[in-house]
Structure 1
Amino acid sequence: MALTVAPAAAQRGGFIRDAEIEALLSDYATPIIRAAGVGTSAVNIYLVGSTAFNAFVADGRRIFINSGVLMQADTPNEVIGVLAHETGHIAGGHLARMRLELQNAQAMAILGMLLGAGAMAAGAMAGDAGAGAQAGQAMMMGSQHALQRSLLSYQRGEEAAADRSAVNYLNATEQSSKGMLTTFASLADQSFLSTKYVDPYAQSHPMPRERIAALEKLAQESPYFEKQDPPQLQHRHDLARAKLTGYLEHPSSVNRRYPPSDKSLPAVYARTIALMQSGNYRDAMAGADALLRVEPSNPYFWELKADLFVKSGRPRDAIGPYQKAVSMAPHPGLIRVALGGAMVAADDPSLLQQGIKQLNQGLQEEPDFAAGYRHLAIAYGKAGQVPEAELATAQEYFTRGDYELAQRFAGRAQQGLARGSPAWLRADDILNYKPPRS
């Protein structure tokens, strides 16, 4: 189930879920978060489906990073520098004034609020504040003006403090600050030339020349300034960029970025995904096989082959490749959900309970994966386990931040579940959840 895009509550943008890219971001961020002393288990990173170069924090434990950061960054170090800066905000407590209710809100709901704030800012910048406000208020459901003010009220002192902290984290992990400097200098140039090239959220992060000069002095004093990223990490970064390009850009754009004359593995990866996206499964399968001949132990190439089988209507054939991917991936939760989904889609009664088992296990590893609960609901429905199917539907809506529908389905599920059972208790937790106040 490579690169699943989940729609945000605001119906504008969404999260991208992908095992390969999430593992890469985790490897980028974990040393930084440890150096900051905030605890790796306390910080979650969410990949937002937007091509704009932007990242932001919404509370003290969540970093949102746009897919555009990965797609535009030439090196891992540039992305690591962005993550280090955002970690500096978290470690510095710069969002302590954020409404406390956000600590418990689902990430999907938070993203909807963020997008609403962005729409309001974009309308004002375009000279149509009324339309922007109307769109933003609809996205935010008329309830999060305080959040908007908090998001857009960063002070320069906090930004400078986050810069200094980021350099310290990079030094502590023996990494260069050059990537962060390159990134922020580029954003400063964009802001200077024209605001229309800058994401609305970036306006809360002013990039004056004096700030870049201060950061440059700090970065160049580091003994690791000229240190390069490890080749294997660069390779993974290049593959992740190719994957995002293949999924998110038009096939013609993919071929311009990765022309047939480019025989590199990332280029083949991008073109193979583009072929799959355009429905050319035969040529895409040939591309997947070519990738596996070069890297037979790459779990994500096996996942791609399995995805091709599913998309071409052959879910039973996808089971073997998914099993290989699960056995090789460091964090296989998302792939395990896809494996369970393929078992259920095979329409073989002997595979149904195995599929349910894989779906439940995958969701234990990835409890925020809303689409996985939809697959689980379908599986329980096929098995005739209606209360369990309704509970899975409630969990999907809850994860998406639609608490009203979640509680409606949880109530229905609870009526058919054994009182006090684990499933009954999960439904009860949803029913007793108090959403953030409007």
Structure 2
Amino acid sequence: MLKIITILVKYIKSYTIYLILFILLLFSSTYKVVKAQNISLIQDAEIELYIRGWVDPILKVAGLSPNSVNIYIVNDKTINAFVAGGQNIFINTGLILAAKEVNALIGVLAHEIGHIAGGHLNRTVNSMKKAQETVTIATILTAGLMAASKAAGLDTPAGLAKLATLGPSIAERNFYKNTRQNEKYADAAAIKYMTSVNRSCIPLTDLLKTLGKQELLHENRQDPYLRTHPISQERIYDIMEATKNISINEQRDLSLDDIKFKRIVAKIVAFTNSPGKTLLLYPKNSSQIDAKYARAIAYLRLPDLEKGIREIKELINLDKNDPFFPEVLGQMLFENGQIFKSIEQLKISSDLLPNNPIILLSLARSQIEYGKSKENNEAILNLKRILKIIPKNIAAWKLLSIAEARNNNINLAQLASAESYFLMGRYSLAIQFAEKAKISFKKNSPSDIRALDIIFFSKEKLAEMNNN
């Protein structure tokens, strides 16, 4: 009996660890995002606004509130999009570049929305737990069978090896069965959503065909249980079958969507590649808006301000109501030390697109950097506007701390620092700055109460961390 228990403990430990590592490998990107935050995010007002404009109607069709779903752009050249940490959609820049057409990108996002609407993230966690339970149960059986075989003199290396893999094999197959069902559900949901908003799924199948060409092995040689997604050919066939009798009447101006998509691609290429490579991809003889846009950014990054400003001003003259051309010019002027001129351009951008947090943050940064009292006070107002929209904007709290300190409002600067440290999870520093700030506040004033809240909740968080 003691020998059976020893075998049992040994195999439970080894197979449980094996399965956990196996599942973490499958979901390594999600794991890093949620646990380690080991990703590089891109924040861009234009890209986020366009994608929001395409995605929000789909979210509504799916019965989800657009305000409850966050979309993040990941600076990663690999082709990927995933849901993690609740209602958060992450899109790699590599996927945007590979999509080629706007409806291909929207189709992938509709698929991810299908995962959210289907509650698949919670189900995946439950599947992982059930898979681990399967390993434990199967290992108990395996240990008993191994002991019985040995007692009967029937143990052979080959036989024991087969028994030893029983637990993981059952667990993996059950786990994959569940994930494959989720993928089929999300594909069906994407078709439903795309049809409801009068968008074609054909570009999505074209993207899947491109991805399918990357498969090295013939599908007949691939074990479908060893894949986290259905084989590309299966997905293409299912989507084409489901949509072949659907008539799409796209009433919107698709050419406008195409222009927006090309601008997004040009911007990503220009900001994530060397200026030289960008200029090769978008040569001088191309007069398209996206080509001019990419060249302008490339020249401004060299820096060749004369050529860059000439290109971007041509775009501004084409459409004086576009907020993003002056935004890019303002950003580049700031990075090249022309602070006051950057403020002028960013004000134009902000006036054209009021209350956009990303543009307001760039404007406030330039105003603080300029160093004059008038601009510093304007920066404080702009930062407070941002924090009304996004109270957890760490960058805004940090800049507000600097701006208040320059106005010699040390207590308000310390309170803003406490806010930023609390949001960063640096609770000891949050307490330290909140305690310093509250010394100068009138008792029971809003600032005093907020400082006390930060102290209380920071101590609570530290206690939780110590208990864990």
TM-score normalised by L of structure 2:
0.72
CA distance in 1, matches of 2:258, 2:342: 29
Give the number of equivalent residue pairs.
375
Q: Cα distance, 1:14 vs. partner?
A: 1.7
SS of 2:108 mapped into structure 1: helix
1:215 and 1:276 map into 2 onto residues whose CA distance is 43
Provide the rounded CA distance (Å) in 2 between the counterparts of 1:63 and 1:419.
43
2: CA distance, partners of 1:351 / 1:179: 48
Alignment match of 1:239 (pick from 254, 258, 263): 263
Alignment-mate amino acid for residue 213 of structure 1? Y
Whether the 8 Å CA contact 2:72–2:91 is kept in 1: the answer is yes
Q: Secondary structure at the match of 2:90?
A: strand
Give the letter for the 2:242 counterpart.
L
Query: Compared with structure 1, are the counterparts of its residues 422 and 43 closer, same or farther at alpha carbon in structure 2 (3 Å cutoff)?
Result: farther
- Provide the aligned C-alpha RMSD in A: 3.2
Determine the structure 1 residue equivalent to 2:396.
372
Shift of 1:342: 1.7
> Aligned partners of 1:253 and 1:203: how far apart in 2?
36
Deviation (angstroms), 1:186: 2.8
Alpha-carbon distance in 2 for matches of 1:182, 1:408: 56
Cα distance in 2, alignment partners of residues 260 and 329 from structure 1: 30
Aligned pairs for 1:10-409 within 5 A: 10=36, 12-97=38-123, 155-192=179-216, 204-224=228-248, 230-329=254-353, 332-400=356-424, 406=430, 409=433
Could you list the per-position Cα deviations for residues 394-416 of structure 1 after superposition, in whole angstroms to 9, with x for gaps in the alignment?
44445456566555545554555
Higher RCO, Cα 8 Å, sep 6+:
1
Q: How many angstroms apart in 2 are the aligned matches of 1:410 and 1:99?
A: 38
1:160 partner letter: K
1:419: how far off? 4.8
**Which 10-residue stretch deviates more, 326-335 or 73-82?**
326-335
Q: Secondary structure at the match of 1:65?
A: strand
Whole-angstrom CA distance in 2 between matches of 1:78 and 1:305: 30
Over residues 192-214 of structure 1, what are the superposed CA-to-partner deviations in whole Å (9 max), with x where a residue is unaligned? 469xxxxxxx9743434223311
Looking at structure 2, the residues matched to 355 and 152 of structure 1 have their Cα atoms a distance apart, in angstroms, of 52
Shift, 1:234, TM fit: 1.0
Q: Note the residue ranges of structure 2 that are not aligned, 5 or more in a row.
A: 1-32, 127-174, 219-225
Cα distance in 2 for residues equivalent to 1:427 and 1:47: 34
Check conservation: 1:171, 1:224, Cα contact below 8 A. yes
Report the CA distance shift for 1:221/1:320 in structure 2 as closer, same or farther (over 3 A).
same
Higher mean Cα deviation, 400-409 or 277-286?
400-409
- What's the secondary structure of 2:210's corresponding residue? helix
More divergent stretch after superposition (31-40 vs 339-348): 339-348
Shift of 1:276: 1.8
- Residue aligned with 2:91, SS: strand
More helix by share: 2
CA distance in structure 1 between the partners assigned to 2:207 and 2:249 by the alignment:
14
Q: Give the conservation status (yes or no) of the 8 Å contact 1:381–1:389.
A: yes
Q: Say whether the 8 Å CA contact 2:198–2:249 is kept in structure 1.
A: no
Which residue identity is paired with 1:54? N
SS in 1 for 2:285: coil
The Cα shift of 1:373 comes to 2.8
Q: Which is further off, 358-367 or 386-395?
A: 386-395
Compute the TM-score of the two structures, normalised by the length of structure 1: 0.76
Q: Which amino acid aligns with 1:286?
A: R
Q: Structure 1 residues 184, 405: closer, same or farther in 2, change over 3 A?
A: farther
CA contact (8 A) 1:239 1:269 kept: yes
Deviation at 1:179, TM superposition (A): 2.4
Q: 1:263 to 1:406 in 2, by over 3 A?
A: farther
Gaps of 5+ in 1: 1-6, 101-150, 195-201
Tell me if structure 1 keeps the 8 A contact 2:211–2:232. Answer: no
* Partner AA of 1:85 in structure 2: H
SS at match of 1:190: coil
